[in-house]
Chains A and B, each alone.
Chain A
């Protein structure tokens, strides 16, 4: 299902795109199974329509918006981004989405709001049990959430987002490891304090709140110095902030990125 004409973004990169088939059959979406092939095979377990997204917490205009409304909020943009998984592989994906900042503006965050929490859909009747502390959640600092690179994706390759990629709406933060991109969002909550996240709860020594792509800070189980671009034979060097340092490095100036991993 095509999403119609899209605005090309100057934030897109020119690297060759990972084939649609790989993007939609090699997924980490534990609610639909823990093997990479599972989510594509279990799409029937998640119904992406009808769908609503709540914006709540420290906002002046809390609201619930339907997915149709979200698609019409601002013109849809194509954003071709690198996606780097903490497991050491990467893709280049042509997302379709809207800047998260435009949605936040709509809800009018209060002055005390410092963090944004993202909460994924979880249905215990149909989805995997007991792997993580469901529902899946993630978090960003408010300035990270407002960064022009941060989008809510509603599609890829010009079409509606497939279930296995987090339909109907997911977070995409291209300078962070892929797990930060919470899928199938049901709520966005503005908070004063930093929230704990699903992976932080599962392995506090392995997954931090920031999770910025950083070749110099190893994961305890994987070196992060190199990555395998899906479809390529040899590994390539991982870039600082996944190649987005120019747009994001200033947000972390003065921070010890080993400590805030």
Chain B
């Protein structure tokens, strides 16, 4: 099934509204004063978890396309990735503003001295160029190949996100473990596809295809 352009526009609109639900629920809890005794901590935690969830959802797009054959889902990926960035930006702003109140000295010390903040901050810094190049213009400007290798940074970003969560919990690592296992599966799938592709190349199946003129195209690490 491939939706028409107008159907896809509808799907995008619905998805956009769905992606806003966590923000809406958080805002409503804040208005109703039901965020518990430490609302700032609750907001920080909530926006952080949604950042990680959106990163994982974004990473689900390619496997979904591959296994369902719905090639059009890839056209939803940009929005999902940008929502990951938006929740991440909200997470960082909560920390900078509500938690630290722009005490830059304390913030700099935190980033340098607390490993969990170092990796979380690094993840957000790495997300920024990805968000900035999420436009057709940027893809044209960079060229598809360069754009793609830049956007593969989502793999280390998601790993840093999981490490950030893992290192911040005091003792009970159940939740970060769940996110890490999902990420491991999503990244493991990609590694497996590469392995299949490598075997296919080694088996020479491409050689029979004249348009490659007998050359093997390397697609793994340079």
A230 within 8 A of B: yes
Closest Cβ neighbor of B106 among chain A residues: A223
B78 within 8 A of A: no
The distance in angstroms between the C-alpha atoms of A222 and B168, with both chains bound, is 9
Point out which of A89, A203, A221, A230 has the most chain B C-beta atoms below 10 A from its C-beta: A221
Point out which of A87, A223, A234 has the most chain B C-beta atoms below 10 A from its C-beta: A223
Q: Mark A146-186, 1 if CB is under 8 A from B, else 0.
A: 00000000000000000000000000000000000000000
B110 within 8 A of A: yes
Closest Cβ neighbor of A198 among chain B residues: B171
Residue from the list A26, A30, A234 in contact with B171, Cβ < 8 A:
A30
Q: A34-B172, A225-B106, A228-B40 are in contact. List 16 more A-B contacts (CB 8 A).
A: A30-B171, A37-B36, A87-B170, A132-B171, A203-B170, A220-B114, A221-B115, A221-B167, A223-B106, A223-B109, A223-B113, A223-B114, A226-B106, A228-B38, A230-B37, A233-B98
Docked-complex contact B38 and A36, CB < 8 angstroms:
yes
B85 within 8 A of A: no
A25 within 8 A of B: yes
Interface class of chain A by DSSP: loop
Name A201-232 residues within 8 Å CB distance of B.
Answer: 202-203, 218, 220-223, 225-226, 228, 230-231
Q: A222-B114, A230-B37 are in contact. Are A34 and B106 (CB under 8 A)?
A: no
Q: A221-B116, A223-B110 are in contact. Are A26 and B172 (CB under 8 A)?
A: no
Q: A234-B101, A235-B101 are in contact. Are A26 and B106 (CB under 8 A)?
A: no
Docked-complex contact A36 and B37, CB < 8 angstroms:
yes
Q: Which residues on the B side are within 8 Å of A233 (C-beta)?
A: 40, 98
Q: Mark B25-64, 1 if CB is under 8 A from A, else 0.
A: 0000000000011101100000000000000000000000
Number of B residues contacting the other chain (C-beta, 8 Å)?
Answer: 21
Chain B positions within 8 Å of A, measured between CB atoms, are 36-38, 40-41, 98, 100-101, 106, 109-110, 113-116, 167-168, 170-172, 174
A22 within 8 A of B: yes
Closest Cβ neighbor of A235 among chain B residues: B101
Q: Which residues on the B side are within 8 Å of A220 (C-beta)?
A: 114
A49 within 8 A of B: no
A131 within 8 A of B: yes
B176 smallest CB distance to A (angstroms)? 12
The distance in angstroms between the C-alpha atoms of A39 and B109, with both chains bound, is 33
Residue from the list A26, A34, A221 in contact with B37, Cβ < 8 A:
A26
